[in-house]
Amino acid sequence: MTGAGGAGAIAAAWQRWRDRFGWLDHLARAALRYDAADGGRLAAAVTYYSFFATFSLGLLGFAVFAFALDDPAVLQSVERYAAENLPHVDLQQLRAARNTAGVIAFLGLPISGWFWVDVLRSSIRKMWGLTEYPGKLLLRVLVDMGVLAGLGVLLAASVSVAYVTTTVANRAVDAAGADAPPSRWPLAVLGLVVGLAVNMVLAAGMLTGLPRIRMPLRRVLVPALLVSVGLELLKTLGRLYVRATEANPAYHLVGGSVGLLVFLSAVNQLVLFAAALTATSAAGRPLDLAEGDRLDTPADEA
């Protein structure tokens, strides 16, 4: 078999598989859309802005935590934990730095958050082949900030539900006196299911709310599940990475930042590929809320 003949046979076999399995054809079309839209470059841009947004969010969390140390009960618990696990951490210095951290977070989070929303929204809309910056700037900024606030509320509500669910389940097991490892397996499964559900809700919000595209649930369900499962896997790999680097002082200076950048890059590529899946799906007819148009999503050329 000649080289050209072999390549032709492979292409024909690939096309037969695509014709036979709809899910495989959908994946192929999504990959083509992702590549045509230069998804890797878009993910890099989103990662750049999401890094600063994550930094600002971390400062806000630090400030809130430091203010919580004013509660004597909280301070006592944290001091006991720090003495056992983080002996070099000075809690008084943390409390002294909270005002500065709070001001920086208060000013930096809205700005970095808006840049993140702006670039992610434009990237997802590019996956759809839509106008990346719809409408006037002022209105777009207001809508983006509203979406950012909505995602924050959605995150808080989802995490609260997850926390209450797992706490109630843990107390139920403790009340039953079941301390054996097998009795903890259902809790681990429950925690995983709740985590996946929280991820799915947030992923669906990003895939629909950010680009301002209304679509049937069946169109976004599988892409949101893909993001959810991928995020859990990345979090697991991230924990392994932290354990592998925390014992080596040489990694302390750059290990955290590099790890965060790699994590954010992988997450953003996953989100944009999920956006390509929604854009190339044949389920229903989505509506572009920014322009008020019904969208046709013909299959990409293979």
pLDDT tens per residue across span 120-172: 999 999 999 888 888 888 888 888 888 888 877 777 776 677 667 767 766 76
Residue showing tokens 């009340």: 175
Helix segments in the chain, DSSP class H? 3-20, 22-36, 39-68, 72-85, 91-96, 98-128, 137-176, 181-208, 217-246, 255-279
**Mean pLDDT across the stretch 168-195?**
67
Q: 29: pLDDT confidence band, cut at 50, 70 and 90?
A: very high
Mean pLDDT of the chain: 79
Q: Please name the residues in contact with 76: beta carbons below 8 A apart, sequence gap of 6 or more.
A: none
Per residue in 191-242, pLDDT (tens digit) is 778 778 888 888 998 899 889 999 989 999 999 999 999 988 888 888 777 7
Are 183 and 238 contacting, i.e. CB atoms less than 8 angstroms apart?
no
Cα torsion at 153, 199, 65, 48 (round to 10°)?
-90
Lowest mean pLDDT among 38-47, 188-197, 249-258: 249-258
CA distances from 279 to 47, 55, 97 (A): 21, 31, 46
pLDDT value for 187: 67
- C-alpha span between 82 and 30 (Å, rounded): 48
pLDDT at 245 over 90: no
What sign for the dihedral angle of Cα 208, 210, 211, 214? positive
pLDDT score recorded for residue 6:
67
Q: Which two tokens stand for residue 47?
A: 């990662």
Per-residue pLDDT at 290: 79
Determine the Cα–Cα distance for residues 228 and 292; give it in Å rounded to an integer: 29
Does residue 274 have a pLDDT over 70?
Answer: yes
pLDDT surpasses 70 at 49: yes
Distance CA 235, CA 259 (A): 11
Average pLDDT over residues 11-36: 86
Q: Which residue in 122, 125, 158, 140 sits closest to 45, CA to CA? A: 122
The pLDDT assigned to 298 comes to 53
**pTM listed for this prediction:** 0.80
- For the chain, what percent of residues have pLDDT higher than 70? 75
